[in-house]
Structure 1
């Protein structure tokens, strides 16, 4: 797993959001961007994390941040997740793992003794020039906004 680090330039990317719209890194030129990766929509930890960001969205926006959520779920699943919890930010459907590989969040994991490859829950803060400003590797799902603010 070759994860992006503070000071790295994020390679340009394009991905589909829950509505099939193309979202590009260049859309956020000159803006601070938070990209949070989560393993699976509608699971307890991912729901807690995304809802915490939703509940603190106005504060994050007031500090100049834009948000993007990313998982390997389908557009349909992302749309269902977004509608169910009324998230005000796009959820990217990275089924082909393009973003997961660019950011380096796909790799070996272990759960209850079982080893497998999956998405590591991580968050990246990117400055207006597309450079990683901060990486949060130990995400607190119920208090993630506080880690960012």
Structure 2
């Protein structure tokens, strides 16, 4: 059962978090293009699509920690420091996405944003991506684990 939970956890991370990190990273330059060419429907459509990908896959991404907790429970590592740090970083990534990235994206999609907002958004997106990168490293290395690298 542990292997099944781990497979679902990793697949959920790849399928859900991957598209969010890519779409969120593509959003600021796409929003700048849309701001520079307000009469271009393709530019506006791209921004809307990237925002929708971030929203939908962000919700789907809830499966990642759900299966992560199930996997950690079956492995008996719920009290491990590396896992607790990963949980905290995952929660921070969720807050950055939900409170900083998606609201700025929404404002830009609705036409209420500025080029300065795209700069802030790029910074928030970078924070989100760095948090996920740190979680990924911790999941692979697992400091103190007998199965860690």
Give the TM-score category using the shorter length. Answer: under 0.3
Q: Give TM-score scaled by structure 2 length.
A: 0.25
Larger relative contact order (C-alpha < 8 A, sep ≥ 6)? 1
